[in-house]
Structure 1
Amino acid sequence: MERGIYFDGWYPNEHCYHPALPPRRLTMADDVAEMGGTMLVWAGLGGGVISLPYLEEEAFGRIPQRFRQHGYVNESEFVAYAKQHGIDLFGIVFEAQAWEFPAEIVGGEVVAQNQLRGVGTQTTTGLREFSTDTGPADWKPFRHYFPDGLVNSDGEQVTDLWEEVVSRDLEGRPLHAHWVEVDGKGQACRLADRNNPVWREYLKAIVRIQIDAGAPGVQLDETDVPLLALRYGGCFCKDCMKGFRAFLLAQDEAPAELAGVELETFDYRAWLLAQGFRAGTAPQRLPLYAEYCRFLQVSITETFHEIASYVKEYAASQGRKVRVAGNFYDCAPFYEAMVPDVDVLVTEMRETRYQQPWYFRHGVGLAAGRPLVAVENPYGGVTEDLLRRIQRGTAYDLFRLSIFEANAMGANMSLPYGSWLGTEVKDSYWVPKDLAVATGQALVSLDGVTSQRSAHSVAVAYSVPSVMRSMMDSDMFSDDGRWFEPVEAVDARPASYWETIEALSRTGHTFDVIVLPDEGLRPDATAPETFAAYRTVVVPDAWNISVAQHAALMGYLEAGGSVVVNGAYGTELPDGAADALLHHERTVVLDDATAVPGHVASDVVGDFDESMAVSVHLLDDDSVALHLVNFDYQEETDRVVPRTDVRVGIRTDRPVTTATLHRPGLPVVSVPLTVADGVASVDIDRIDLYCVVHCA
């Protein structure tokens, strides 16, 4: 299993200043090795969105002798040192960030940046100065990196990179990546647009420097840009308008709203302005909103593929293999088509809770066999609360649970190492080193009985196009009304997927997630064999299922499988086609997601309630391992209440003759095993937070 470290390394009692990370020291890699880390995310080489010379200084810059005394190294040296410890640092590419910082310069040398001290001529440094060759004296000129310059989609030489690549609102004003700007410092981070070919070429230059610096992995952040601009009411830059025009021209039929409109010259922004719409209008109120969202879904898939492919191609040209990681934020449906382009799937989780095993099962399904590495979200959920409690010497069990539950579900929750707390809090997320090391080493000790593969008999279908609409109309794209007044979707379709998997998790049911892709975004190979390993397939509100996916489910049913449908099914299929599944003798139709657990068998036998989470891992030798997490945390004692004298069983058709019990910090012990009626049962004297029963 991959064991990630959220390796920002921001300073305690200081703001987390994007995009360049604090200087690296050798002891940092030593710490990570003690923690059992194998990969570092948000880990280094991030300054390219200030300028390429700044990035090169991060990568290869001279370290003063005084700093060498204390183990400081440049990024390329740190990458190599970490690799000696078996740790892969992923260079971070901030795809949505275009930066300008206040600075003070004396004699061409930067003497203050971001945090000014009144010692020189105040100016700015960033992409504008880089592209106009007006930056610090030691910055190489723009044409050193782009000998022929950069030409935009209008055929013009770019003279101001910062102005060129920005996303814009309906009235043409630049949008900002507010989530990374620290107020009161004079910073300006514009929301860059990957639909702009100039920005894509610039991102590729960042990738080249990172790979030249030896990075064994490249992490692409903000992978949904410019779709994410919807939260600000955008994007209406020239390249998005050109792309939308081409998208409409490629359709079999123009939308009814465009009857009589000359599509060859259509400009969506100008068309909206002519109708009286202005910035600050909720995008959901705009005509052609659904079509524009679809264009953005297609474009982010295509441009992400271009950048991710370039990472591999450039690495190969240098005789190297490099892994690609993508930050797919909350694992929303529009990320699914990008999954084939990555080797590691990273998720920030929109909301970090104290208990959410169903989220990790979702992510593992989306990852489709790739490692899933999660990090906490400082803006959603419990992260700051947990940090403050840890700083007071409490909530250690809650911290351990946050790491253990992901491992139990076949994923990895990164250990924090000065990780991000957003821009509003003047601090970063550190935990005591002994706590981090003990928790990480617990994962190491369980590596042999942990897998991304399961031995579950229940699958839940995740219909990407069915969930897509509810996600696009969700509050994710309103930012709590900060930029425009959100509106309710007038024709919203039900989406009970998340409610269904949470209900299964909270009732001790194990399950896999089977993704039914959006065929308009990527090819789909769904077939009856996709479901063949499962006794039951749960299908929650899959109203927009394709003909091929429906046929695969029908083939599964005809081969003896059973289906539980909750909510709408197949309403977009040809008339009457859905009835064959809905009225099949092995189909159960429900209208309440909370009723689903009562209609599926459990792979695990025992007295489980919502304060426990279970999962059955299938190991490489075809043996199985039952992972049990105890969430019974009590505020009064600040401890998880141990469970004693617990009897559990695994339904299995595999021959089982031995059972061993694995608990963090304790020796592995054999436990008596009984096998009867296809259930392998053991008695566990005590479960603290987490244990694994390995049956072989």
Structure 2
Amino acid sequence: MPPRRLSMLDDLEEMGATILVWAGLGGGSISLPYLEEEAYGPVPARFRHYGYVSESEFIHHARERDIDLFAIIFESQAWEFPAELVDGEVVAQNELRGVAPQTTIGLREFSTDTGPASWKPFRHYFPDGLVNSAGEQVTNLWEEVACRDLEGNPIRAHWVEVAVRDQVSYYADRNNPVWREYLKAVIRIQIDAGARGIQLDETDTPMSALRYGGCFCRDCMDEMRAYLLALDEIPVELEGVDLTRFDYRAWLLELGHRAGENPRGLPLYQHFSRCQQLAIARTFEELSTYAKQYAASKGVEIRVAGNFYDCAPYFDPMVDHVDVLVTEMRETKYQQPWYFRHGVGLSRGKPLVAVENPYGGVTEQLLQKVQLGRAFDLFRLTIFEASAMGANMSLPYGSWLGTEVKDSYWVPRHLVVETGQFLKEIDHLISPSSPHRTAVVHSVRSLIALTIDSDQFNDGERWFPDVEQPDAPAQSYWEVIESLSRSSKGYDVVVFPDEALRANDVTGQSLSRYETIVLPDVWAVSAEQHRALLDYVHRGGHVLIHGVYGSELDPATREELTSHANVAIVDAIDELPALTPVDIVADLGPLAAASLHELQSGAVALHLVNYDYDEESDVVRPRTGVTVGAQLAGTFSRARLYAPGEQAVDLELTQQEGVWTVTVPQLATYAVIEFSQGED
């Protein structure tokens, strides 16, 4: 990570920062001594003159301002960088100068004690060395921890390599116990350096190596063998095979398969994918638990965050083991409130922090406009939309734009400060809880395979040719929540877990707070989840089914729900909004979004976002005289309006048949109305 200056904290404090993600102490992917030099390394007097500090000093001063830096662990990156050394001193690294013979420094040199003279030896950190799953002493850490393709070649994490720099980052494998032990050492150094937040990045490794055709390393093959032995029924392809000694990689090679094939076309692929789904949940829990336990042994408390990328269904079991969810967003767009409602549902009450994706969506385009002094309202919307939906969108502070764009994501300071200060003002009005009367079910098992087998793990045909996929069950979940959001309907997302990954926590009682439950192609439903839905309708709840329901249940069991008087089958997605309860009474149209937040004070906040951006005038067209009502239980005597750049004001509040109505004089980009029972 780049060097730190104290003036950065002045900026961050003025922006209203509370936590920093992808923010520091990331050098463990190069070596443990490199990480320690980040944390404690000497800062030359010349740099001290300008306020530069070590990472541990920066963390300390950040905590004095109630800002927690989450130390970052790059779980799938194992690095070797080009370098030039003179008498063991680094005179160039990554960006070479031609002043000494070229060499490399990284995990390989660390494990062989051939790195810079300032690096402590490998045995300083691991006195007994590291022993792999074959019982061998590790002599080359870099090669040991790499994911492997079908022919045993190391897989590279291409998305982080800068091609012109002669860098090599192997895709590291968390199934390998050696790598997990190394990552625990990284965690120890980070906590000892003062970090009170640990952010685990790339939390789906090595399953995510499917993107490049792997992983077929020894440890992943051990996982596959154990998985197959635990199955109730042996796949027909393996009849007569001694599974106690089965090697999936060797078996595929004997069948004539080679590296470069699409893994989705390989025999037993679905079992291999399922094996990795189970493994990543278990190994993530191991690291998260270790971080908490090590911190406790040092007398401190920490928070653990996980990068759950696009909030895919296979992250659901990991949610139990984090305090904060971080999501990169696969695509950063200008209008996607449904994405945040989905993420808030997956988070199950925990804070969700979204970060723009440099590779997908509008980030680079937005930056170009902002640099020309345009698109300020568009930037504001990218931040406010998340808050309106009960999540957080991080404010950029020189954010990464990938390996090809020679720039970073900086927004004019006044604009970021203005935005951050408004978020600080309304912090008490943002909540992941809602009084919405509609819930949409996110069925993990109905969605998980389709998500993994999509183009998300493909990259077109860059790494392997496309293959014709077997017919997968239809899935309308994303279309349904988008349709509800575009209709300004309030709703929650309720997760139906995959019970092999996480115990079911859905009951008729837990669902009974909703008037209507929407089931979008929930074809995979367990017997316990089916009983919960039956209990729910027997309690008077209503169910709307779109598409397939419970295809694995026997017909008579399935019909217990589908034939119930409180259940309706809906053919078209665009019919659903009209069939769900009206929590927000307003004619907002498709260029708006709305959501209700239940607050700890007992008040309720109505959040409104206006997406009506005009390219020519470069502003969001303000709406005047917007009358909006909220269907709420309880009694309220005050409605207070909060809007960016404006003083909070009280609005006239009326009530009829439980609908509390106000008129917002002007809705620019964002407004929040707090319904409360009296004075502050």
Which TM-score applies when normalising by structure 1?
A: 0.96
1:304 has 2:284 as partner? yes
Q: In the alignment, what sits opposite 1:368?
A: 348
Deviation of residue 271 (structure 1)?
0.5
Q: Work out the CA distance in 1 between the residues paired with 2:7 and 2:526.
A: 53
User: Which residue of 2 is the match for residue 387 of structure 1?
Assistant: 367
What SS class does the counterpart of residue 179 from structure 2 fall into?
helix
Partner of 2:273: 293
Q: Distance in 2 between matches of 1:278 and 1:320?
A: 50
CA drift of 1:481 comes to: 1.4
Matches of 1:81 and 1:450, distance apart in 2 = 28
Identify which of 56, 59, 62 aligns with 1:76.
56
Query: Which residue of structure 1 lines up, in the alignment, with residue 532 of structure 2?
Result: 552
1:343 to 280, 304, 323: 323
Which residue of structure 2 aligns with residue 100 of structure 1? 80
Structure 2 partner of 1:455: 435
* Counterpart position of 2:564: 584
Aligned equivalents of 1:83, 1:591: Cα separation in 2: 54
How many residue pairs match? The answer is 676
SS in 2 for 1:615: strand
2:243 paired with 1:266? no
Matched, 1:609 2:581: no
Tell me the residue number matched to 1:405: 385
C-alpha separation in 2, matches of 1:274 and 1:404: 55
Q: How far did residue 591 of structure 1 move?
A: 2.8
Matching of residue 313 in structure 1 with residue 293 in structure 2 = yes
Q: Which letter maps to 1:446?
A: I
Name the counterpart of 1:247: 227
Alignment of 1:324-335 (within 5 A): 324-335=304-315
Identical columns (%) = 60
User: How far, CA to CA, are the matches of 1:294 and 1:57 in structure 2?
Assistant: 40
What displacement does 1:545 show?
A: 0.5
After TM superposition, the structure 1 = structure 2 runs for residues 170-249 of structure 1, keeping only pairs within 5 Å, are: 170-249=150-229
Matched residues in 2 for 1:49 and 1:88: separation?
A: 22
Deviations 1:75-111 (A, max 9, x none): 1000000001110000000000000001000011010
Contact 1:102 1:186 in 2 (8 A): yes
3-state SS of 1:337 partner: helix
Aligned residues of 1:499 and 1:594 also touching (Cα < 8 A): no
**Which residue type is aligned with residue 550 of structure 2?**
G
Deviation at 1:601, TM superposition (A): 1.7
Give CA-to-partner distance per residue, 1:248-276, whole Å, 9 cap, x none: 11112211110111101111011111111
Within 5 Å, which residues of 2 pair with 1:624-663? 624-663=604-643
Displacement of 1:184: 1.2
Match of 1:431 in 2: 411
Ranges in structure 1 where 5+ consecutive residues have no aligned partner: 1-20
Aligned partner of residue 660 in structure 1, secondary structure: strand
Q: Which has the higher contact order (CA 8 A, sep 6+)?
A: 1
Q: State the distance in 1 between where 2:218 and 2:633 align.
A: 60
1:540 counterpart (506, 515, 520): 520
Q: Are the aligned partners of 1:165 and 1:193 in contact in 2 as well (CA < 8 Å)?
A: yes
Q: Distance in 2 between matches of 1:109 and 1:635?
A: 54
The question of whether the paired residues in 2 share the 8 Å contact of 1:90 and 1:216 is answered with yes
Matched, 1:506 2:481: no
Quote the offset at 1:575 in angstroms. 3.6
Give the superposition deviation at 1:472. 1.9
| Deviation of the 1:598 alpha carbon | 2.0
Query: Structure 2: how far apart are the matches of 1:81 and 1:166?
Result: 37
Say which of 644, 648, 664 aligns to 1:684: 664
Match of 2:112 in 1: 132
Contact 1:43 1:89 in 2 (8 A): yes
Return the match for 2:474 from 484, 490, 494. 494
Equivalent position amino acid for 2:369 in 1: R
Please report how far the alpha carbon of residue 450 of structure 1 lies from its aligned counterpart in structure 2 after TM superposition.
1.8
Q: TM-score, normalised by structure 2?
A: 0.99
1:263-305: per-residue Cα shift (whole Å, max 9, x none)? 0111101111111111111111111011011100000000000
SS in 1 for 2:165: coil
Per-residue deviation, 1:657:
1.6
TM-align CA RMSD: 0.8
Deviations 1:329-372 (A, max 9, x none): 00000001100000000000101100100000000000001000
- Say whether residues 1:482 and 2:457 are aligned partners: no
Q: Take 1:477 and 1:671, find their aligned partners in 2: how far apart are those partners?
A: 50
Distance 1:187 1:693 in 2: 52
Which whole-Å deviations, capped at 9, do the CAs of 1:559-584 have from their partners, x for residues lacking one? Answer: 00000011000011234211111111
Deviations 1:452-494 (A, max 9, x none): 2111110001000001121122001111211011223212111
Aligned-pair distance for 1:639? 0.5
Which of 342, 353, 359 is the equivalent residue of 2:333? 353
1:8 maps to none
Give the Cα separation in 2 of the matches to 1:635 and 1:299.
48
| d(CA) in 1 for partners of 2:428, 2:223 | 49
Structure 2: distance between partners of 1:573 and 1:623: 43
